[in-house]
Chains A and B, each alone.
Chain A
Amino acid sequence: MEIKGEQDFNGPRELLYELLLDPDVLSAALPGVERFEEVAPETYESTMRVGIASVRGTYTGRVEVLEQSPPESYRLRIDGSGKPGGVRADATVELSENGSGTTMHYRADVKARGTIARLGGRLLGGVARLLIGQFFKSIEQQVDDRAA
C-alpha cells in the first residue's frame, strides 16, 4: 500500500528538518509513543500503542534514517510488529520552500502482515492518515513555538 501526501508548515525548512529528526521531538509528537531511543547512529527503537479497531495493540519498532540530505530530504526504513501483526515501511520525505514556509512531501510504501494485513488492510490507510494528522498537528505546534 502506498501512503503519500503533503503538508505545509510555517517555519523555515532547516528548522523543520532538525525537528523531524530530533528523538525528543518525535517522541512527543508521535501519538501513543511510550519509548523512543537512539540505539545506534541514525537508528532508533520505539514502543508505541495504537488504540484503533483491529490494529489495536502495542507495537515495537525500529526506525533507520538513511540518505540524509539536509535540509532537503531523507529516507526512513521502519519495521514494527505487535500482536495484530507487523508493518514494514519505506518512506521518503522531501522539504521544499514555498515562499511563506515549508512544504513537506512524503511518500511511503507500506507492507503489512498478520491480522493487520488480513482484516486491518481496509483500515490501515485510514488509521495511517489519522496518526499522520495527529503527528503533523504536534509538529506544527512545535514549529510555531520555536519560530516564535
Chain B
Amino acid sequence: MTIADGPALPKLIGERVKRREDPRLIQGQATYVDDIKLPGMLHLAFKRSDIAHGVITRIDTSAAAAMDGVELVITGTELADHLGPMPIGTPFPAPDHFSVATDKVRYVGEPVAVVVAEDRYIARDAADAIEVEYDELPAVVDPEAAMEADSATLHEGFERNIAVESYWGGTGVNPETAQPEDDSAVDAAFAEADVVVSQRMLNQRLAPNAMEPRGVVAQYEPGREYLTVWSATQNPHILRTLVAAMMGLGEHQVRAVAPEVGGGFGCKINIYGEEYVAAALSRLVKAPVKWIEDRTEAFLTTTHGRDLLGYIDLAAKSDGTITGLKARIIADIGAYEVLLTAMIPTLTGLMMNGVYRLPVVRHELTEVFTNKTPTDAYRGAGRPEGLYFLERAVDMVARELDMDPAEIRRKNFVPADEFPFATQSGLVYDSGNYEPCLDKALEVADWQGLLAERDAARAEGRIVGVGLSFYVEVCGLGPSAVVPTGGWEHSGVTVERGGKVTATTGASPHGQGNETTFAQMLADHFSIPLEDITILHGDTGVVKQGIGTFGSRSQAVGGAALISAAGKAGDKMKQFAAAMMTDQEVSPEDLVFEDGRIQVEGAPEVSKTFAEVADYAYVPVPLPPGMEPGVSEEAFFEPENNTYPFGCHISMVEVDRDTGETKLLKLIAVDDCGNVINPLIVDGQVHGGLAQGIGQAMFEEVVYDEDGQPVTASFMDYVMPRAADLPVFELDRTVTPTPINPLGAKGVGEAGTIGSTPCVVNAAVDALAPFGVTHIEMPLRPERMWRIINEGEGGQS
C-alpha cells in the first residue's frame, strides 16, 4: 500500500489550455506533405485544359517526352488502362469521371496529360511543352440556361444537364411513403397570408482556399506490394479505402497518411484524381512520386463551394407569425460529381426550417452540370446556403411589417419545451433553447443602443445599418444511415508501461486542435497530467479505423468514441488495481481515478498509483482470472442522431457614400455549441468561421466569363478577408448540452460561417434601405453598393 502524496490535479475540461500542437508549428518543425522527401522521388506536373468544353482531337507529347530529366509522359487515354472512373460517395446517378480526361474536357483546369520528371521545374516545363488541340463546344455557364432544351449538354444520359431533381412539400413528408402528405396546404397558406415576400437570391460560388494547397506523395513498393500515400486530406481512412479500390489492392496493402495538414474547410474531403494518379504512376515508374498544387491550380481544380440560386417565398400573418415557406433551389454543381457533390445541396433544404415553427414547406431542388470546377463541401456545406436564404427572407418580412428583426424571430422560435423537435424536413433537433441565446446577444450587443447609434449616424448623413440573424445547424455527422462513408468514429486508448497513455482517433484534424482537447478529456478521465498523454491521428498504419474530420464531428462523434475507449481501458485498470489490493478486499466498482492514483472512493490511503497499476498490467503475476494482460482498448461510436447547435449574430456596417466601400464596424456572436472542452479553441473556431462567413458576404466570389474561363484564379483577383478588413469580434455563449453523446458537446467548426453571412447582408440592406433596396446580392462589392446609392438601383442589384 502506498499513500497519496502527489499534487492535486486540476480538472481540465472547460479550461483554456494552450495547444500542444503549437511548439512544432511556431518553430517551423512540422511536416506538411510538401516537406516530405523520399530517396529517388520523382515529380508530377499536369497538363490541364485551357478551354471549358471541347473534344480532344490531338495530343502531342513528343517534345515533352524528349526533354532531359523527363521520365514519363502519359495521356488520359493511356492512363485509363491503369485507373478506371473515380468513385463518388453519394447514392445519386453520376456520369463517368476519369482522373485525367480521355476524350472530352468539361472545365478549365481538367487534366489531359501527366508528366513524371526529376524535379518540379522540369516537370512543369515538360507539361508546358505538350500540345493539345480541341474541337471546341459551346460553354455551359449559366445554370438556368443549362436546363433549356437548346443548351449544349456536358454528359450523355443527363438531359438538360440535370444531375439531381427532388421535390417535397406540404405538411411534411410521410415517412412510410416518403411522399409529401398534402401539397395543397402550401398554396392555401400563401393564399391566406397577410404578407408574402418573394426574392431570387444567389449564394455565390466560393473557393475554400486552405492556405496549404493540396499535395500528395505516393510510394508503391513492388517487392511488398504495398502502397503508402501521404496526402493533404481531411480523411486518410476514406483515402485508403478509395485508393485501394482504384488500384485493385486490398485495404491491408495501403497505408494512407495525413501528415500536418494546413487547413481543409471541406475542400480536402474529396479524394481527387491527382491522388489516384500519383499512386498509379508510382507503381508504373517504380519510384516514389510527388505532386504539389500551386495556387492557380487550386483555384481551377480544388472543389469549389456554394453556388446555389434560390427562389424564396415566405408567407406571414400581419403579426409576424410565419405561415409558410416555398424554396426553389438551383445548384450549379460544376462539371462532375465528386465525393459528396450531389449531397451538399440536399442539406440546404433539410436545414431551411431554421429555428422556427413552419406549418408548411415546399422545397424543390435541381442540381445542374455546368462547365465549371466541381463543387463539394465548403465550411458549412449546405447549411449556410439554407440559413442565408431563410434569414434573409425573415428579415424581409420584418422590414415589410416594420417589425424589429429580433422580435419576429422570437415570435416564431420553436419553444424550449418542444425539444426534441421534428422539423418539416424530417430532422429531429436534439435540444435547443433559443430565447436565452437571443436575449444574451441583444444584451451583449446593446441592441437598443445600436439602433440609436445607427439613427444618430443617419441623422449626420452617414450610411449605417444593423443586422441580426439566428441560425441552427447540423453537426456531428453521422449517423451511418445518412453518411455513405459510415457515420461512426473510432478511437483506441493504450495505457503504456509506466502509466503514460497513447490514444488514437480517426477524426484526423487539420488545425482543430484535437491533440489538445482529446488529451484534456483523457487527463480528466484518468486523473493524470496532460503531459502523460499523446494523441495520434492521421495515419492508417497507426490508427486502425476512422472516418475523418468534416461536418463538425470531431468532438461530437470522435470525442465520444475516445471516451468510450477510455472507459473500457479504465475498467481494466481498475480490475488490475483491485487485483493488486486483494488483501484489502477491494472491488473494481469501488475504485476511482484521483490525482494520479486509483483509489477507493473517499479513501485515498487505499490506493495504487496509476503507474504502478500500468506496470502490473504488463507483468500480471498473478493474472486475475478471466483477464488478458495489458491495457489497450478500442471503441467505435455510432451516434443515434445529429446535434443541432444554434446561435445569434448581430452586426453593424457603414457604407462609404463616395466609394461604395462597406466597413464592418461590429460583429457580435453568441453561439451555443453545448458543453465546451476548451474555450480558447472554441473561440478560435468561431473567429475563423466568422471571417469566412464575412468573406462570403463582403468580398469573395469565383467568377467565370461567358466562355467558362475563370477570371478569379489567383489571390490578385479573388478577394480574401485580411486582418484590416475585420473588426474585433465580441463573443459570448449559452450552453445547451446535447443528449446524443456523453460529452454533451455539439460541435462548433462551422457555426461562425453560418450565422455571420446573413447577419452582415441584413445589416447592409438595413444601411441601404433608405435608397429603396430590399435585397442586395453578395458579395457587397463597392461598385454594387455605389450604384445603389448613386443610381438608385433599388432592388435591382
Contact = CB atoms under 8 A, between A and B. Distances in A.
Touching chains A and B, CB distance < 8 Å: yes
Interface of A: 83, 85-86, 111-114, 117-119, 121-122
B50 A114 contact: yes
A113 B105 CA distance: 14
B709 A118 contact: yes
Given A117-B705, A118-B296, A119-B296, A86 B713 contact: no
Contacts of B108: 113
Contacts of A117: 705, 709-711
Nearest to A117: B709
Contacts of B713: 118-119
B60 to A, nearest CB: 13
A85 B128 contact: no
A83, A114, A117, A118, most chain B CB atoms within 10 A: A118
Contacts of A118: 296, 299-300, 709-711, 713-714
A111 B128 CA distance: 21
A113 B711 contact: no
26 contacts: A86-B50, A111-B705, A111-B707, A111-B709, A112-B709, A113-B50, A113-B108, A113-B707, A113-B709, A114-B50, A117-B705, A117-B709, A117-B710, A118-B296, A118-B299, A118-B709, A118-B710, A118-B711, A118-B714, A119-B713, A119-B714, A119-B716, A121-B711, A121-B717, A122-B716, A122-B717
B109 to A, nearest CB: 9
B162 interface: no
Contacts of A112: 709
A37 to B, nearest CB: 20
B128, B709, B711, B713, most chain A CB atoms within 10 A: B709
A85 B300 CA distance: 15
A86 B707 CA distance: 13
Contacts of A86: 50
Nearest to B50: A114
B50 A85 contact: yes
Contacts of A85: 50
A117 B709 CA distance: 7
B51 interface: yes
A111 B108 CA distance: 15
The 5 A-B pairs of least Cβ separation, nearest first, read: A114-B50, A118-B713, A117-B709, A113-B50, A83-B128
Nearest to A114: B50
Contacts of B710: 117-118
A114 B128 CA distance: 12
B79 to A, nearest CB: 23
A121 B296 CA distance: 14
Interface in B540-580: none
Nearest to B711: A121
Interface in B637-654: none
A137 B520 CA distance: 74
Interface string B95-129: 00000000000001000000000000000000010
Interface in B17-56: 50-51
Contacts of B296: 118-119
Nearest to B129: A83
Interface string B693-724: 00000000000010101110110110000000
Given A117-B710, A118-B299, 19 more contacts: A83-B128, A86-B50, A111-B709, A113-B50, A113-B51, A113-B707, A114-B50, A117-B705, A117-B711, A118-B710, A118-B711, A118-B713, A118-B714, A119-B296, A119-B716, A121-B711, A121-B717, A122-B716, A122-B717
B779 to A, nearest CB: 19
Contacts of A83: 128
B542 to A, nearest CB: 40
B538 to A, nearest CB: 33
A79 B502 CA distance: 64
A83 B132 CA distance: 10
Contacts of A122: 716-717
Contacts of B50: 85-86, 113-114
Contacts of B707: 111, 113
B127 to A, nearest CB: 10
Contacts of A111: 705, 707, 709
Interface string B119-151: 000000000100000000000000000000000
A42 B601 CA distance: 99
B722 to A, nearest CB: 19
Contacts of B711: 117-118, 121
A119 B709 CA distance: 11
A112 B705 CA distance: 10
Contacts of A121: 711, 717
A117 B707 CA distance: 11
A42 B299 CA distance: 41
A55 B185 CA distance: 60
B381 to A, nearest CB: 27
A70 B50 CA distance: 38
Nearest to A83: B128
A22 B717 CA distance: 40
Nearest to B52: A113
A24 to B, nearest CB: 30
A83 B124 CA distance: 12
A112, A113, A114, most chain B CB atoms within 10 A: A113
Nearest to B300: A118
A122 B715 CA distance: 13
B753 to A, nearest CB: 27
A117 to B, nearest CB: 4
A81 to B, nearest CB: 8
B703 to A, nearest CB: 11
A67 B717 CA distance: 38
A118 B108 CA distance: 10
